Structure 1
Amino acid sequence: MSFSPQSRVWVYQSDRKFSSAEETAIIEKLAAFTNQWKAHGNELLARAEIRYGYFIILTVDETQANVTGCSIDSSVRLIKEIEQDYHVDLFNRFNMAYKVDDQVIVNNKEDFETLINIKQITPETIVFNNMVQTLAELENKWEVPLKNSWHSTVFAHLL
């Protein structure tokens, strides 16, 4: 199934890595949801995935049917359910994810700031821009050097 580069995406980042058993169960739950996801009775061309054990990514190709407020609400309900079932935080935008040697690490804003201060995180460190809105952005602007991300404006005084 091929998705348009303009497909809408939502990225939810966990505050901890899912175990492989959790990941399998969550993928099943997401697949069941995306297979029946509708907007005003129209079937949505949608998929869900987990990347790096931390990121739940929902994708909807709107060339078939547009996402509505109600259909977005139903996806948010599902993500909140996953949050409760697995005791994770998927809505905290102050958790920062970055890569060290291809390993994803998630820290709170204060720890992230400290790591910049002590030069453990540099302008070249790859960070995750979970604000991406399209599949094209997910592929090209999701994993970017800190200096090219929105993080650099927030932490500019430290860089």
Structure 2
Amino acid sequence: MFVEYTLLPDDAKVWIYPSSRKFYASEIEELESKIKSFMNSWKIEDENFKASYQLLYNRFIVFAADDSQSTLSNADVDKSVSFIIALQEFYGITLLDKMNVCFKQGQFVQYKELKDFKKLLKNKAVTAKTIIFDNLLTIKHDFDNFWEISIEDSWYQRFL
């Protein structure tokens, strides 16, 4: 069942899907409708299951699920991944590539392949203070507090 994100506990599971491009304004309403519909049908047979999502910077889809009273099976996770794959195909984007780097440049969010990001670091186009998005986080508390951090405070610091 879909609930507001703020109602989920800090230990809720999260999955972060960065889009290879920003969603167009004309796509947002339809995208959110599709996601809410999925959230409401994800584990429809389990009335204790609570899930939510966030669409951030018109680029990141974040799923969150409280599995404290309702266990998420591999089949449930597979169902969510199948939904994400369908979104990729429908919108002509990439959402499942965790080896790309998302970071802020001014007010804009950039999406680069890791090899291109390393070149930006080498050429000092980004610095240790540049804000990156850690899309490998898996718990709501960590997402809420450590998703946007400087490169020097992230696992990307090894590339500095």
TM-score, normalised to structure 2, is 0.91
Match of 1:42 among 46, 54, 61: 46
Corresponding residue for 2:11? Answer: 6
Offset of 1:36 from its aligned partner? 1.8
Q: Is structure 2 residue 115 aligned with structure 1 residue 118?
A: no
Identical aligned pairs, as a percentage?
Answer: 29
Residue from 125, 136, 143 that aligns with 2:148: 143
SS of the residue corresponding to residue 131 of structure 1 reads coil
- The aligned amino acid for 1:84 is E
In structure 2, C-alpha distance between the alignment counterparts of 1:8 and 1:21, rounded to whole Å: 30
Match of 1:22 among 19, 23, 27: 27
Aligned 1:37-116 pairs, distance under 5 A: 37-38=42-43, 41-43=45-47, 44-116=49-121
The CA deviation at 1:135 is: 0.7
Contact kept, 8 Å, 2:128 with 2:151, in 1: the verdict is yes
> What is the identity, as a one-letter code, of the residue corresponding to 1:29?
K
**Contact residue 8 and residue 60 of structure 1 kept, 8 A:** yes
- Aligned residue pairs, count: 154
- For residue 110 of structure 1, report the CA deviation from its aligned partner: 2.2
TM superposition shift of 1:23: 2.1
Indicate if the aligned counterparts of 1:27 and 1:49 stay in contact, CA closer than 8 A. Answer: no
Unaligned runs of 5+ in 2: none
Output the amino acid matched with 2:102: A
Q: For 1:121-132, what aligned pairs fall within 5 Å after superposition? A: 121-132=126-137
Query: Runs of 4 or more off by more than 6 Å in structure 1?
Result: none
Runs of 5+ consecutive residues of structure 1 not aligned to the other structure: none
Q: CA RMSD in A?
A: 1.3
Tell me how far 1:64 sits from its aligned partner. Answer: 3.0
Q: Deviations over 1:78-132 (max 9, x none)?
A: 0000000000011112221001223211111222111101111111110010011
Whether the 8 Å CA contact 1:45–1:64 is kept in 2: the answer is no
